Amino acid sequence: MLDEKYFADKTINCLGDSTTWGDDSTGGGGNAISWTSHLQELIPFKQVNNFGKKGSRIALSEDRQDSFVERYLDMDKSADYIVVFGGINDFVNNVPIGTIGNKDPHKFLGALDIIINGLNDHYPDAVLIFMTATKSSFAHSSKPYPNSFQKNAAGNTQANYNAAMIDICHHYSLPVIDLFNISGISPFLDNSERYMPDGTHYSPLGYKKLAHRIVGELIRYLI
């Protein structure tokens, strides 16, 4: 039986976007309500590092300089585990998916390829775990973002990005937690406002529920 002291000297880096940062859809939030804080309550890590950035895409873009590709080297190099959770901003901003083997950082799969190999190189002792983005129906005040089941301007649904992340993780034999399909929280449920007030970001209660699902899946990869 695993003793909780096993994690007493362990550090985990969490690389993500606004749903890792802890956006509560009202202009507030932060790490205090994020799933990352609940993670430390449920698994007694020495340190949980939140590297969430609101609006961050996995792939490079011309209008921002905070993609996962640009940030993955800036994390704690002593981490025992690294969780990468993202992709929704690539979908709603029409990032081309690309193909496995083409390492174009402006394309979704190319950026993931760079990140996977870069993490493996610069954090050689860390266990890498990826998580797909959860479903979305973002009620943005000015931008007509597609929901998960609509095609974006690149002709893809969110399921296409989800499948692409799973494919490249399987290509490199890396674990991937498919939150797109098993998060237990959906903006398409009748009571969705309880957990996802704007259809994408979580309420404090939503982050807590999400954290429990993440821990239930994550624990198998931590030992």
Residue from 20, 13, 130, 17 nearest 82 by CA: 13
CA 128 – CA 123 distance, rounded (Å): 9
Instruction: Give the model's pLDDT for residue 25.
Output: 86
CA 14 – CA 27 distance, rounded (Å): 22
Q: Is the pTM value of this prediction over 0.75?
A: yes
Torsion of CA 68, 74, 77, 83, to 10 degrees: -30
Decide: helix, strand or coil at residue 126.
coil
Indicate if the alpha-carbon torsion angle 35, 56, 168, 164 is positive or negative: positive
Residue from 11, 28, 66 nearest 202 by CA: 28
What is the block-wise mean pLDDT of the chain (223 residues), using blocks of 10 residues?
82 98 91 96 97 98 97 98 99 98 98 99 98 90 86 98 99 99 96 93 96 98 93
Instruction: Give the model's pLDDT for residue 143.
Output: 77
Instruction: Give the model's pLDDT for residue 1.
Output: 45
- Report the topology of domain 4-221: Rossmann fold (3.40.50)
Instruction: Give the model's pLDDT for residue 4.
Output: 73
Helix (H) or strand (E) holding 85: strand 81-86
Instruction: Give the model's pLDDT for residue 3.
Output: 74
Residue from 21, 33, 36 nearest 89 by CA: 21
Helix then strand then coil, in percent of the chain rounded to 5, is 35, 15, 50
